[in-house]
Amino acid sequence: MATNELATAPMLNVSERALAEIGRMADSAEKFLRLWVTEGGCAGMTYEASIDETETPFDRCAFQSDSVRIVADRNSAQHVDGLHIDYSDDLISLGFRFSNPNASKACGCGASFSL
């Protein structure tokens, strides 16, 4: 990856719990978390994520640590700047939680947002 891609990448905040879970799910150095934004939900947009191992020319590195890489496509990258990713393993809402302080509106359950 070119240095200038990292310099212009959006800034994400990823909790230790989320880092551990992403690392567990992406069980090899070739795999990464793909993050994208889709239209939907009460507030207009939602975050989606999956483990992937194939990058495209349209992808941008949004976060990189020693063991975890998070990638977003060009269109979604603008919506992940400032995003906080956490992970919860409680019985009521198991999974990743996305919180964006730049969101101007969010639904009551926190599943969707608008900027």
Domains and CATH numbers, the chain: 3-114 (2.60.300.12)
In this model, does residue 6 exceed pLDDT 50? no
Q: Measured between alpha carbons, how far is 42 from 114 in angstroms, rounded to an integer?
A: 9
What pLDDT does residue 57 have? 93
Q: What is the mean pLDDT of residues 74-92?
A: 87
Q: Whole-prediction pTM value?
A: 0.78
What pLDDT does residue 40 have? 66
With beta carbons less than 8 A apart as the criterion, state whether 51 and 27 touch: no
- Please list, in sequence order, all residues whose beta carbon lies within 8 angstroms of the beta carbon of residue 54, skipping any fewer than 6 positions away: none
The pLDDT mean for the chain works out to 80
